[in-house]
């Protein structure tokens, strides 16, 4: 077990990690732009979401991050493991 443990590199991933923020942002946009009304059937819901997703992908919508690497180092530096080589 100790041999295996030496081969494993642990990385701290906070619950407010960027991938989770991205998912929350996309769900919020979907809700405001597509799901802000009652849809009478599951089939219509699927068609609406598929159309929204196709449009969003065709327009190549992206998320513009305001949180820089320096901000992350300042706020999250205490969670970093110092000088591990993984």
pLDDT tens digits for range 17-50? 677 778 888 999 999 999 999 999 999 999 999 9
2 part of a folded domain: no
36 part of a folded domain: yes
Residue 16 has pLDDT above 70, yes or no: no
The band of 79, judged by pLDDT with boundaries at 50, 70 and 90, is confident
Name the residue range of residue 62's domain.
14-79
Residue pair 22/63 in contact by the 8 Å Cβ criterion: yes
22 part of a folded domain: yes
Number of domains in the chain: 1
Percent of the chain's residues with pLDDT above 70: 83
Percent of the chain's residues with pLDDT above 90: 40
70 part of a folded domain: yes
Query: Residue 83 carries which DSSP code?
Result: T
Dihedral, 78, 26, 65, 15 alpha carbons, nearest 10: 0
pTM above 0.85?
no
């Amino acid at each position: 077990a100790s041999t295996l443990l030496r081969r494993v590199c642990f990385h701290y991933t906070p619950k407010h990690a960027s991938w989770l923020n991205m998912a929350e942002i996309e769900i919020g946009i979907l809700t405001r732009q597509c799901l802000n009304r009652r849809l009478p059937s599951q089939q219509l819901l699927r068609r609406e979401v598929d159309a929204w997703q196709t449009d969003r992908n065709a327009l190549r919508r992206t998320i513009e991050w305001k949180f820089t690497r320096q901000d992350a180092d300042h706020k999250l530096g205490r969670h970093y493991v110092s000088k591990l080589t993984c």
